[in-house]
Chains A and B, each alone.
Chain A
Amino acid sequence: MTRQEMKDIIWNGLWKQNAGMVQLLGLCPLLAISNTLVNAVSLGLATTLVMTLSGSAVAAIREVIPNEARIPVYVLLIAVLVTIVQLLMNAYVHSLYLVLGIFIPLIVTNCIVLARAESFASKNGVRASTLDGIAMGLGLTAVLAVLGGVREILGKGTLMSGLDLIFGESAKSMVITIIPDYPGFLIAILPPGAFIVLGLLIALKNWLNLRAEQKVREATIPAATPQTA
């Protein structure tokens, strides 16, 4: 794996092929749990962990599995990994487990995990697939974080509420109240808010891409279009 390949994998995961904004896979947890920053990041990281493990596991056994049986084996692998992560979270970060609840086992049904196993890990080596899992997972986590943060500010006027559920009572003081005495804006907390904010995010990304493209075009043929300046 060359440096350039590594860079490509990371860039694909974080931006170009971002799971949340470009592939639009795994919307179920994205929409449901991104109502606060803490929830969103927690589920994002759990998904990242599963994707990293499943990516490396699939890449490691890809030579052994017969082609016809590969999908069931991937699904089996992912289900096993998610269950292990769920058991571990239940045991060691119990309060976070209570918050994320049903959404942890639902990582199994998050199609981004299977999609990466099938489209990337089954064709690449262990190291590249592990890196792909991390990059894709972190890309998803970043989108979740922005979604969660925006929805929480709009919906509740706070940031990082619920942090005490992970780090204990002392973390309560770390909750940031952006807008004091905020009456709340329910639609931002409910799933429709997630759709709206996600739509805006995608629009922003497309706009940024377009602008970057335009800059490139202007830079390569500056003499041809003098009037745009």
Chain B
Amino acid sequence: MSRTMAKASLHTAANLLFFTLIGTALLAVTFELTRDTIAESEEKEKMKLIGQIVPETAYDNDIMKDVGQVAADEMLGSDEATIVHRGRLNDESTIAVLEAIAPDGYGGKIKLIVAFHKDGKIGGVRVVTHNETPGLGDYIDIAKNQWITVFKGTSLENSRDRDWKVRKDGGTFDYMAGATITPRAIIKAVHKAAQYFALHRGELFKPVAQDPNVAQDTPAENKKASGKEKTK
């Protein structure tokens, strides 16, 4: 009796194993087949957003490839390393696109990209992902509304600390009635990112590290290089 049961269980287990293997194989094949296309379309998507906030005349390098690692920082709202895209014109650093996270949106984290000109002026901000209420807080998405373009041209110089708030709180930023938590979170995150940029401008424009992994492996060399850049 127990013998037949054991046999039946084994049979079932073998069956499950068999189908698991087939499933895994199918998934692996599909993953391999689609991987490049997916990476391409994700890059295109990001490029589209970056293209909206970085003027084409501001760079002549491959801004998608010219990336540097940015260590996790509370001011960027990040808890792991993020990536900065750097634009250069005639080998002169002109613009940097930082990733920042607003941790306190109404629906949790709001991921942003912020473009800073070398002088600290904001080229533009775009929301990459968010979970704000559809129809209420999602006007931060450029696909839905132009609101997010209010940041263009703002900088720490032309906006004092108390200006970085929605009008309701005494600041200079417009918002839409009914959803103030969302713009508050974004304004705060962009303000902090601007402060971060002001503090770390030099290292963000660190000269071309062809491969971010290589850059990570040789921090000393890069530091030296960035020092050179500064003194230049």
**In the bound complex, do residue A69 and residue B37 qualify as a contact, i.e. CB atoms below 8 Å apart?**
no
Select B27's contact among A64, A83, A94, beta carbons within 8 Å.
A83
**In the bound complex, do residue A90 and residue B34 qualify as a contact, i.e. CB atoms below 8 Å apart?**
yes
Q: Which among A68, A80, A88 has the highest number of chain B CB atoms within 10 Å? A: A80
Would you call A197 an interface residue if the criterion is a C-beta within 8 Å of the partner chain's C-beta atoms?
no
Chain B window 4-28, contacts with chain A (Cβ cutoff 8 Å), 1 for yes, 0 for no: 0000100110011001100100110
A190 vs B178: C-alpha distance in the bound complex, in angstroms?
15
A79 vs B23: C-alpha distance in the bound complex, in angstroms?
9
CB distance from B146 to the nearest CB of A (A): 15
**In the bound complex, do residue A87 and residue B15 qualify as a contact, i.e. CB atoms below 8 Å apart?**
no
A9-17, A70-78, A103-111, A209-217 - the one binding chain B: A70-78
**In the bound complex, do residue A190 and residue B16 qualify as a contact, i.e. CB atoms below 8 Å apart?**
no
**In the bound complex, do residue A66 and residue B15 qualify as a contact, i.e. CB atoms below 8 Å apart?**
yes
Contacting residues of chain B (108-140) with chain A, CB-CB under 8 angstroms: 133-136
**In the bound complex, do residue A84 and residue B30 qualify as a contact, i.e. CB atoms below 8 Å apart?**
yes
Select A66's contact among B12, B26, B38, B133, beta carbons within 8 Å.
B12
B-chain residues with CB within 8 Å of residue A175 when the two chains form the complex: none
Would you call A26 an interface residue if the criterion is a C-beta within 8 Å of the partner chain's C-beta atoms?
no
Contacting residues of chain B (191-229) with chain A, CB-CB under 8 angstroms: none
Please judge, given known A-B contacts A87-B30, A94-B42, whether A66 and B8 are in contact too, CB under 8 Å. Answer: yes
**In the bound complex, do residue B16 and residue A186 qualify as a contact, i.e. CB atoms below 8 Å apart?**
no
Would you call A155 an interface residue if the criterion is a C-beta within 8 Å of the partner chain's C-beta atoms?
yes
**In the bound complex, do residue B20 and residue A76 qualify as a contact, i.e. CB atoms below 8 Å apart?**
yes
Query: Which residue of chain B lies nearest to A83 when distances are taken between CB atoms in the complex?
Result: B27
Would you call A35 an interface residue if the criterion is a C-beta within 8 Å of the partner chain's C-beta atoms?
yes
**In the bound complex, do residue A91 and residue B37 qualify as a contact, i.e. CB atoms below 8 Å apart?**
yes
A-chain residues with CB within 8 Å of residue B30 when the two chains form the complex: 83-84, 87-88
CB distance from A187 to the nearest CB of B (A): 10
Chain A contact residues: over half helix, strand or loop, or mixed? Answer: helix
Number of interface residues of A (CB under 8 A): 30
Would you call A184 an interface residue if the criterion is a C-beta within 8 Å of the partner chain's C-beta atoms?
yes
Select B134's contact among A35, A88, A94, A95, beta carbons within 8 Å.
A35
Number of interface residues of B (CB under 8 A): 24
Please judge, given known A-B contacts A83-B27, A88-B34, A94-B42, whether A69 and B135 are in contact too, CB under 8 Å. Answer: no
Chain B window 33-60, contacts with chain A (Cβ cutoff 8 Å), 1 for yes, 0 for no: 0100110011011000000000000000
Select B41's contact among A35, A61, A73, A94, beta carbons within 8 Å.
A94
Query: Which residue of chain A lies nearest to B48 when distances are taken between CB atoms in the complex?
Result: A95
**In the bound complex, do residue B16 and residue A72 qualify as a contact, i.e. CB atoms below 8 Å apart?**
yes
**In the bound complex, do residue A189 and residue B134 qualify as a contact, i.e. CB atoms below 8 Å apart?**
yes
**In the bound complex, do residue A66 and residue B11 qualify as a contact, i.e. CB atoms below 8 Å apart?**
yes
Contacting residues of chain A (108-145) with chain B, CB-CB under 8 angstroms: none
Query: Which residue of chain A lies nearest to B24 when distances are taken between CB atoms in the complex?
Result: A80
CB distance from A19 to the nearest CB of B (A): 24
A92 vs B44: C-alpha distance in the bound complex, in angstroms?
13
Would you call A178 an interface residue if the criterion is a C-beta within 8 Å of the partner chain's C-beta atoms?
no
A35 vs B135: C-alpha distance in the bound complex, in angstroms?
10
Select A87's contact among B8, B31, B135, beta carbons within 8 Å.
B31
Would you call A65 an interface residue if the criterion is a C-beta within 8 Å of the partner chain's C-beta atoms?
yes
- B residues sitting closer than 8 Å to A (CB atoms) are 8, 11-12, 15-16, 19-20, 23, 26-27, 30-31, 34, 37-38, 41-42, 44-45, 133-136, 143
Q: Given contact pairs A84-B30, A184-B135, enumerate 11 new A-B contacts (beta carbons under 8 Å).
A: A35-B135, A66-B12, A69-B16, A72-B16, A76-B19, A80-B23, A84-B27, A91-B37, A91-B38, A91-B41, A165-B143
